[in-house]
A and B are shown apart, each in its own frame.
Chain A
């Protein structure tokens, strides 16, 4: 399985929930080159999930555009697949059926589905559970199924919305490493939304900070570290401290602006 990444270009993206709601975020510009793992960090409520849902084609923007290799995103597609905070698996299906469900929606032939599902299940190391009912799996295993269900579509862009925040620390850490390793091996892009600075440092090539109301990108930092990344590595620690500092500054810097918005 080899997947090509894509050039992402977000321009002037503005969103509001209904015409009477306040603006969620205003004129967001963001670019990400082919194969990059980009993290968007921000406090909860700043509009990260909304932004990601728009990129996934599950929500419509009020203004602005998102283009992948120059083609605007108009709705959901197997080329850009989202993984949510909870696995949301179909409980009446086995692991294998859950992983293959997207391919059956696309009416792929059975042998293609079988081989791609087997491959995806191997990537997330769930071979021994292929025939299990997903309700018998642990939270971490279920999220691995959700990952395989996304990977089997061979997306150019994988969208992750705080995908591991419900998991215990050990499971979270191993999945963070695994997802990054798989993305680098296969070559697809990642946009990761998180409020966890560690997660951004472990998983991303670049991190941007989203803050304010309405939200916008206020800081940007390259995460230029070798793989595999280790939390105890001093370079990881340094970058983490730097990002934390930027994050605090971004939060403080927002306060006067928020006040000025009121008058």
Chain B
């Protein structure tokens, strides 16, 4: 009996020794604790007469909502609509932020002239642009994409500039010495040198964009995750509401993990990976 226990303990501890497995085990444990708390809160809501009508916020009703939402295609449609806005907004932010960031990091006078203006614009809350966006853009889609772009452009721009500041000027001398054209200087030296910082900026941008997206979708539009939450609230489908909140969290986590993989893939500085 004691022997068997010792043997099992050995297997478990060896399993836990592997760093990746251990990290995974801790992650599972953390999520499990969160789920348990949620489950307990659900029971408490259910048990209390005054809060009984909110019992659908609990873990079990929420999980039960997923088959309904998937079956009706609601989650897929909402995620697709939100994903499109997020993707377009981020794409615009990258297309504007990376070149301007390179300019800021490489051209001293441009950096000096533009820094104050950009720092100022960066401090304007993305949601403060909302009324303006609604006036300027004919469609709701247009204004939401604009809001996401303007929220995410700053981290991309400043990370790119910071990455360029770390580039060793000798690399340009070496590349020129070996016959690099200006285009090759960009694609073979600058881009790989700053890819890590650009992706780190995109990671920050994604975080902000994901935060801006949902409140932006509370207004006007009739599609997307934000709209679906608002809709669930109005129709008092509380379990749908929590299921959608959970979906937002999961999608955000997955997108973030993908960018972390890219960051690690392009990180060449020792001690970063």
Q: How far is the CA of A92 from the CA of B194 in the complex (A)?
A: 11
Contact A77 B192 (CB under 8 A): no
Complex: chain B residue closest to A81, CB-CB: B177
For B181, the chain A residues whose CB sits under 8 A away are 105
Which residue on A lies nearest to B181, using beta carbons?
A: A105
Q: Is the CB of B178 within 8 A of A101?
A: yes
Closest to B176 in A: A76
Give the total of B residues in contact with A, Cβ under 8 Å: 21
A90 adjacent to B192 (CB under 8 Å): yes
Question: Which chain B residues in 128-180 approach chain A with CB under 8 Å?
Answer: 168, 170-171, 173-180
Main secondary structure of the interface of B (DSSP, over half): helix
How far, in Å, is B67 (CB) from chain A's closest CB? 47
A86 / chain B contacts, CB cutoff of 8 Å? 170
Let me know if A82 is at the binding interface, CB within 8 A. yes
Q: Does A106 contact B (CB under 8 A)?
A: yes
Interface string of A64-108 (1 = CB under 8 A from B): 000000000000111001101010101110000000011011100
Contact A92 B192 (CB under 8 A): yes
A153–B174 Cα gap in the complex (Å)? 13
B235 proximal to A (CB < 8 A): no
- Complex Cα–Cα for A92 and B164 (A): 15
| Closest residue of A by beta carbon distance from B174 | A88
Complex contacts, B269 vs chain A, CB 8 Å: 91
> Given the known A-B contacts A90-B171, A91-B269, are A104 and B188 also in contact in the complex, defined by CB atoms under 8 Å?
yes
Q: A76-B177, A91-B269, A104-B188 are in contact. List 17 more A-B contacts (CB 8 A).
A: A58-B176, A58-B177, A77-B179, A84-B170, A84-B173, A84-B174, A86-B170, A88-B170, A90-B189, A90-B193, A92-B268, A101-B175, A102-B178, A105-B175, A106-B179, A149-B178, A153-B179
Query: A-side interface residues toward B, CB under 8 Å?
Result: 56, 58, 76-78, 81-82, 84, 86, 88, 90-92, 101-102, 104-106, 133, 135, 149, 153
Question: What 8 A-B pairs are tightest by C-beta distance, nearest first?
Answer: A102-B178, A92-B268, A88-B170, A105-B180, A105-B179, A88-B174, A92-B192, A91-B268
